[in-house]
Structure 1
Amino acid sequence: MKYLKRISCSFLAIALCMSIAAKDERGSIAKFDYFEYIGNDDFYRENPLPHDNSFYNPIVPGWHSDPSICRVGNDYFMVMSTFTYYPGVPLFHSRDLVNWRQIGNILDRPSQLPALQGQPINTGGIYAPAISYNPHNKTYYMITTDVGRGHFYVTTQDPFGKWSDPHWLPTIGGIDPSFFFDDDGKAYIVHKEDTEGKPKWSNFRSIRITRFDTTTGDVFGEDMPFRESGVGPEERLDRNEGPHIYKINGKYYMICAEGGTSWAHSEVVYRADSVLGPYTRWSRNPMLTQRLLKANRNNAVTCTGHVDIVDTPDGEWWGVFLGCRPDQNGFECLGRETFIMPIKWSADGFPYMTQSKDTIPLVLHRKGIKREKNVTFGNFTWRDDFTGKTLRPEWLSIWGSAEKYYKTGNGLRLSCAPITLKDRRTPAYIGRRLQHHKYTVTTCLIFKPEEGEAAGLLLVKNEEHQYFMALRKGNLALLQIGRGADKEIATQPIKTDGRPISLRIEARGTLCDFYYKEEGNGWQLLAKDIDATHISSRRGGGFTGSTVGMYAVKNQRE
């Protein structure tokens, strides 16, 4: 019986190799049996959660920047930026602010993202989405900016279903728009805009408020500027952006990010008796910052800001915001992550999260809430065998849908595409966000490459900061992709006749090791102690974190 099983498996392997060796017009097909991601950060191992109601910050780790949140009844919905990645704007759902699940992506059709191609990976595309609910027409709104084209919003009455095609707002400039729906049914859009005339100081920006007609779906009337006075560059409080307006106990509150997106990032709050102001600045601003703390402290959270706040049915207030977790030398590959904290209220009635040198807590508790088994935070294992008809919502491509290059079901099949990431057109790449400083990524690849073709695992920061563990005809190589020609760091002769080969990346903060395993053998080292800062935010710049995934290419440029 064992002999018959071996014969049967051999015939299946031969048939599979014949199938995947068949080429289409795009090149040979690389089959990835599975993809496994294991997070193993020291902090989580050394600081286990003490209670069932405990949870970690960041609540959604890895690059999930510019969070926005709203509540309808007992349901909370949260969104983040995606820049030039596709699908756009991940949508998370929770019923308790602790246990979150990604239920989809709001911009999941090409018709919703028509202008991504050609924009830079980590500075173009979709900026700072804001999600809101209008109780007067029972409609959810998500408004955002595609920096390659302008502002738009989409709507739905069922956030678990499909969202509309974009409604563009060509008369609004700047970035970071957000809706506010008042109790009287009037609606407004608040956004960052350049100032009129000579600015008061370098990088000074204004916040503007525009009336919105929910019946026609367009803005109308005069675009009214809100300017702060009396605060200058001596406090580094400039570049107002990411505004939101709330009505709380009859007062209007406006919160804005200030100080840029790096170490001086902060959040400030204002209050008014009318939605149009005048707004009074809180005397103890900022309501959130970490800029007064040493950047090289242990377990640092830096660059905090871009806050959105939400109330609970019981009257509590919480805020979500972005932050970074660099090492003591300022390096991280994760980008800006989503954190959460309870809101406190000052004696004079202003909301805040930190004061002076308060630090961001990495372990929090929420009374009456029980942590579920599968959560978005801490160390976890995430695996996909690609058995479904569609990709899971966590998967990403770049500059648009890569659907013409892949098929799912019994593994992921990727056709080698004649496109690299330097072309700024959609390549044959399917990836996910890095979410830990220490992680292991493993896949099994079946591929019979022709000359000039390559497939394997790709680590991506942007067009000029990548590592490619590439199976090519006759060898396995590790390539550092940067400006100019690719740099071959390591190469290993190997049979490439379509037999399975497993690939693995083990990351240890700023260092990565690359392994491979041929059928019947153990793991072999391809390259050790490779500098992971090549794909870090400090080296690559921009606003995204790094991703890792499966990549197939032909006619690679040298």
Structure 2
Amino acid sequence: MSSAPERDTTFNNPVIPGFHPDPSVCRAGEDYYLACSSFEYFPGIPVFHSRDLVHWTQIGNALDRPSQLRLPPGTPASGGLYAPTLRHHDGRFWLIVTNVSGDGNVLFTATDPAGPWSDPVRLPGVHGIDPDLAWDEDGTCWCTVAGVSQVRIDPYTGETLGEPQRLWSGTPGAKAPEAPHLYRIGEYWYLLIAEGGTERCHGVSIARGRTPNGPFEPCPDNPILTHRGTEHPIQNTGHGDLVQGPDGSWWMVFLGVRPRGGTPGWHVLGRETFLAPVNWTDRWPVVGEVSPVMAAPPWPLEEPAARPVRDDFDLSELAHYWISPRSRPAEHCTTKERAGWLSLRARGGSLDDPEVTLVGRRQQHHSCRTRALVDPAEGRGGLAVRFDEEHHYEIETADGEVRVLARIGPLRSVVASRPVAAGPVVLRIDTAVTREVTEARQGPDTVSLGVEDAKGTFDVLAALDGRYLSTEVAGGFTGRVIGPYAVAGTVHVDWVDHEEVPD
């Protein structure tokens, strides 16, 4: 007689690793859905599904059509889409977000969170970023934005109903009150915000009132979540959203970073999505301890879906996790031109160009290996690690040669080169986390770029310091993206694989 399998007692944080910031979560029945910011990348706003809050599978991108998302060529790195709020109300899913480089605040709806999502409903009367949606008992829809201010809206037309009103804006003197979320929980309305800026002083605070527009009384224990001034391995914790489980328990998803190396500590994966339990004391939420290994929720955890490692480009459409800077016209990126291959037709002449043709996936592991079989017979291109136009490393092939290039701020150089035989070549980029910090200036990881032969031997042309592809150096709000690109003619890619390498 077989015994029932043992329930998992722990899980790993972050629950969605890599550049997945500003998480917003909702529950429909026993299913959870989550959306994140995507900034200058297309398609925009990745959408995830989970049955246990721990294991998440990307089911789509809410903004996957040009009619939904305008990111003009002048969109700067870390511009674009900021801080979505995802809600389930009246049998429909609602997503509101700010496009700081295009249409301002816009609202989308769907009956299935996997899509398709509607074309945008524009909200010209809603000013500010990080918009939130909440409905009261009589059906009034309240939109609250960073600052913090609030206005009633018609979510079907985008019309504002009345004038914006200022609300509680967090701790006096704390900068950047943002990421507001409004909830009716029991007899109170709760206003959750982030404050302190999205760097090391980030935190989450909360207030409550008897009506959705206040007045609001701040929690005496604010901030209810922060790691400022600590040596905790998870930093910049903030931008949270609350959700209640079917069993009545409460949870918070929030962003954080995992700095590595010496001083000041560099985070290279961007801001990631973390999970923590929430208890209630005197009708105030108390966020539980946050750590890289957490006690599991009281329900059975789902069998985690295997993260895709290899893409052979055998499908007519790209997988959900592939993203591109600003746009991805079909005439410049297709799997239909050459069966089983991804064909990339160049636009920009280098990765310095905002319109470069690049298809990448978020780096999700500190130590990882990315490989691609690239045929440059009709052009020039390769495999890149991109942070923005001024911070990227790449290994490029054309005319019987491979070379490693590095762009760090105003400096651009060819670091190394060597000849290769004509025909397709396996390009490879490995990142290896710094295991032991021996002095204060030591970087977070090493990025090795080279070629791989038929036996799998890795010929490293250059091993570069990873600190220069980090938020602390490059600035902004994103993280590393790794993938193939073309900068002249057409480059064909047979496959790409990306996998974690144990530290």
Q: TM-score, normalised by structure 2?
A: 0.89
Measured in 2, the distance between the counterparts of 1:130 and 1:105 equals 14
- Determine the structure 1 residue equivalent to 2:496: none
Measured in 1, the distance between the counterparts of 2:63 and 2:413 equals 36
Query: Which secondary structure does the structure 1 equivalent of 2:131 belong to?
Result: strand
Measured in 1, the distance between the counterparts of 2:368 and 2:458 equals 18
Matched, 1:399 2:294: no
Q: Is contact 1:100–1:375 with CA below 8 Å preserved after alignment?
A: no
Q: TM-score, normalised by structure 1?
A: 0.80
Matched, 1:331 2:266: yes
Identity of aligned residues (%): 36
Measured in 2, the distance between the counterparts of 1:127 and 1:373 equals 29
Measured in 1, the distance between the counterparts of 2:279 and 2:48 equals 25
- Determine the structure 2 residue equivalent to 1:368: 299
List per-residue Cα deviations over 1:294-317 (Å, max 9, x = no partner): 2xx5xx000000000111111111
Compared CA separation, residues 366 and 419, structure 1 to 2 (3 A): same
Measured in 2, the distance between the counterparts of 1:418 and 1:117 equals 11
Q: Is contact 1:266–1:289 with CA below 8 Å preserved after alignment?
A: yes
Map 1:191-340 onto structure 2 (within 5 A).
Answer: 191-192=145-146, 206-214=147-155, 216-228=157-169, 231-233=171-173, 237-294=174-231, 300-329=233-262, 330-340=265-275
Map 1:85-164 onto structure 2 (within 5 A).
Answer: 85-122=41-78, 124-135=79-90, 138-149=91-102, 150-164=104-118
Structure 1 residue runs of 5 or longer lacking an equivalent are 1-49, 193-205
Compared CA separation, residues 285 and 522, structure 1 to 2 (3 A): closer
One-letter amino acid of the counterpart of residue 248, structure 1: I
One-letter amino acid of the counterpart of residue 413, structure 1: S
Structure 1 residue 419: Cα displacement? 4.1
- Determine the structure 2 residue equivalent to 1:417: 347
Measured in 2, the distance between the counterparts of 1:215 and 1:320 equals 28
Q: Is contact 1:290–1:359 with CA below 8 Å preserved after alignment?
A: no
Query: Which secondary structure does the structure 2 equivalent of 1:112 belong to?
Result: coil
Measured in 2, the distance between the counterparts of 1:477 and 1:216 equals 53
Matched, 1:171 2:125: yes
Q: Which has the higher strand share?
A: 2
Compared CA separation, residues 419 and 169, structure 1 to 2 (3 A): farther
* CA RMSD in angstroms, aligned pairs only: 2.0
1:461 to 378, 382, 387: 387
1:530 to 441, 454, 464: 464
Measured in 2, the distance between the counterparts of 1:239 and 1:470 equals 41
Structure 1 residue 361: Cα displacement? 4.4
Q: Larger relative contact order (C-alpha < 8 A, sep ≥ 6)?
A: 1
2:357 to 418, 428, 441: 428
Measured in 2, the distance between the counterparts of 1:359 and 1:126 equals 28
Q: Is contact 1:53–1:371 with CA below 8 Å preserved after alignment?
A: no
Matched, 1:504 2:428: yes
Query: Which secondary structure does the structure 2 equivalent of 1:477 belong to?
Result: strand
List per-residue Cα deviations over 1:49-93 (Å, max 9, x = no partner): x96353211000000000000111112110000001000000001
Compared CA separation, residues 522 and 287, structure 1 to 2 (3 A): closer
- Determine the structure 1 residue equivalent to 2:283: 349
Structure 1 residue 221: Cα displacement? 0.5
Q: State which drifts further: 405-414 or 266-275.
A: 405-414
Compared CA separation, residues 522 and 228, structure 1 to 2 (3 A): closer
Q: Which has the higher helix share?
A: 1
Measured in 1, the distance between the counterparts of 2:256 and 2:88 equals 26
- Determine the structure 2 residue equivalent to 1:199: none
Q: Is contact 2:121–2:156 with CA below 8 Å preserved after alignment?
A: no
Query: Which secondary structure does the structure 2 equivalent of 1:343 belong to?
Result: strand
Measured in 1, the distance between the counterparts of 2:351 and 2:99 equals 20
List per-residue Cα deviations over 1:415-454 (Å, max 9, x = no partner): 23344343322x22110000111001111122225xxx52
Extract structure 1 runs of 4+ deviating beyond 4 A.
none
Measured in 2, the distance between the counterparts of 1:214 and 1:554 equals 45
Q: Is contact 2:416–2:462 with CA below 8 Å preserved after alignment?
A: no
List per-residue Cα deviations over 1:181-206 (Å, max 9, x = no partner): 112211110001xxxxxxxxxxxxx3
Matched length: 468
- Determine the structure 2 residue equivalent to 1:543: 477
